[in-house]
């Protein structure tokens, strides 16, 4: 079994971006600028957005954090998005999800300028991804592709089973694994809560990508020998004995599944850190595109 070490690979990617940014500075060019909007005080969201902003600072990007109260109206958020769309200094921005219930998430995503949509959630970018056009690939699926590529995992002709069909992970992952090229050229089965015989389907998978958010869902007896196992799940399990009052776990029974898998991602330290690294990569891409246009 080989560990797909997202922490190590994400650090490599960040070093590569740091070097690129240092060269931009030497040439007197503007460095990439990422803005993040967060609405409300959700603990996990604040942690994610905080680490995205800190990562920007470490690698030499400029960053802006826009914090809005949980009572923010849809109109107020749309106005802020309009400001960021028009702000020439900002190359890309994200709106941290989930949003409070008074706000229509789809409306918000639609309001983001596709050229600044470094999360790759806008229908224009999602459509381009589905059509194999150059675009911003959503950071988590992009991170999984990068891990497969850097560990030279063969995907051609393999049966990939994706568990979960969210717009940010499962659905795009199923499209990307089935596209022409590498990583890709897989035969993909996309499963969800209504899938019948899911255990049997998973047992036929050469590659399993689990993105449902149910701790210990994927057990050793469900996967075939030498399967590649990608665990996207991140669940906070309350535990008073831990300093933070919780611990983080994925969807996979890592201890037992790792004995059968050929490659496996740990949680934490697998897909999670890759997601941030690829958001930074998308922001660099946004800067390069804006420079080319101006």
Residue 233 CA to residue 242 CA, distance in Å, equals 20
**Nearest to 266, CA basis, from 233, 244, 221, 288:** 233
Nearest Cα to Cα of residue 95 among 58, 122, 134: 122
Question: How many residues lie near ligand NAP (CB under 6 A)?
Answer: 25
Catalytic residue among 14, 96, 158, 251: 96
Burial class (CB in 10 A: 0-12, 13-18, 19+), 23: exposed
CA distances (Å), origin 8, targets 60, 139, 247, 268: 19, 17, 21, 12
Q: Among 164, 172, 183, 266, which residue interacts with ligand NAP (rule: CB under 6 A)?
A: 164
At 160 the three-state DSSP class reads strand
Cβ atoms of 281 and 140 within 8 Å: the answer is no
Residue 251: active-site member: no
Token code pair at residue 153: 């995992």
- Token pair for 79: 């106005």
Is position 175 an interface residue for ligand NAP (rule: CB under 6 A)? no
When the beta carbons of 186 and 275 are compared against ligand NAP, the nearer one is: 275
Regarding beta strands 246-249 and 235-238, do their DSSP bridges make them parallel or antiparallel, or are they unpaired?
Answer: antiparallel
96 is a catalytic site residue: yes
Q: In the 8-state DSSP scheme, what is residue 153?
A: -
CB of 251 to ligand NAP, least distance (A): 7
As measured in angstroms, the least distance from the Cβ of 82 to ligand NAP is 26
Cβ pair 144, 232 in contact under 8 A: yes
Q: Which residue has the tokens 């020439």?
A: 88
Q: How far is the CB of 41 from ligand NAP (least distance, A)?
A: 18
Smallest gap from residue 181 Cβ to ligand NAP (A) = 23
Q: Does 174 bind ligand NAP (CB under 6 A)?
A: no
Q: State which of positions 124-153 bind ligand NAP (CB under 6 A).
A: 140
Q: Does 116 bind ligand NAP (CB under 6 A)?
A: no
Nearest distance in Å: CB 170, ligand NAP: 6
Q: x/- binding map, residues 179-218, to ligand NAP, per CB under 6 A?
A: ------------xxxxx--x------------xxxx----
Nearest position to ligand NAP, beta carbon: 213
Based on the shown chain and the rule CB under 6 A, indicate whether residue 268 belongs to the binding site for ligand NAP: no
Phi, psi angles (nearest 5°) of residue 201: -65, -45
Which span sits near ligand NAP by CB under 6 A: 19-27, 116-124, 149-157, 227-235?
Answer: 227-235
Q: Does 289 bind ligand NAP (CB under 6 A)?
A: no
Residues that bind ligand NAP (CB under 6 A): 140, 163-166, 168-170, 191-195, 198, 211-214, 232-235, 271-272, 275
- Which are the catalytic amino acids? 52, 96, 119
């Amino acid at each position: 079994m080989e560990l797909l070490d997202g922490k190590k690979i994400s650090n490599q990617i960040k070093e590569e971006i740091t070097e690129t940014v240092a060269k931009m500075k030497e040439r007197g060019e503007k460095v990439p600028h990422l803005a993040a909007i967060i609405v409300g005080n959700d603990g996990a969201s604040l942690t994610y957005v905080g680490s995205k902003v800190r990562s920007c600072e470490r690698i030499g990007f400029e960053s802006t954090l826009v914090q809005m109260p949980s009572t923010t109206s849809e109109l107020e958020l749309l106005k802020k998005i309009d400001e960021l769309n028009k702000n020439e200094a900002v190359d890309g921005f994200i709106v941290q999800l989930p949003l409070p219930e008074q706000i229509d998430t789809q409306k918000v995503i639609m309001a983001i300028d596709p050229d600044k949509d470094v999360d790759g959630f806008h229908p224009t970018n999602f459509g381009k991804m589905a059509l194999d056009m150059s675009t911003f690939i959503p950071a988590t699926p992009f991170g999984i592709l990068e891990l497969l590529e850097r560990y030279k995992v063969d995907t051609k002709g393999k049966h990939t089973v994706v568990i979960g069909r969210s717009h940010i992970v499962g659905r795009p992952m199923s499209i990307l694994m089935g596209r022409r090229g590498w990583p890709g050229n897989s035969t993909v089965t996309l499963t969800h809560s209504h899938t019948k015989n899911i255990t049997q389907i998973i047992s036929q998978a050469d590659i399993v990508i689990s993105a449902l958010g149910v701790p210990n869902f994927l057990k050793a007896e469900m996967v075939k020998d030498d399967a590649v196992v990608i665990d996207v799940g991140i669940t906070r399990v309350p535990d008073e004995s831990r300093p933070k009052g919780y611990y983080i776990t994925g969807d996979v029974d890592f201890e037992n599944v790792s004995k059968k898998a050929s490659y496996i991602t740990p949680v934490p330290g697998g897909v999670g850190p890759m997601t941030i690294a690829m958001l930074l990569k998308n922001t660099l891409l946004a800067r390069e595109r804006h420079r080319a246009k101006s």
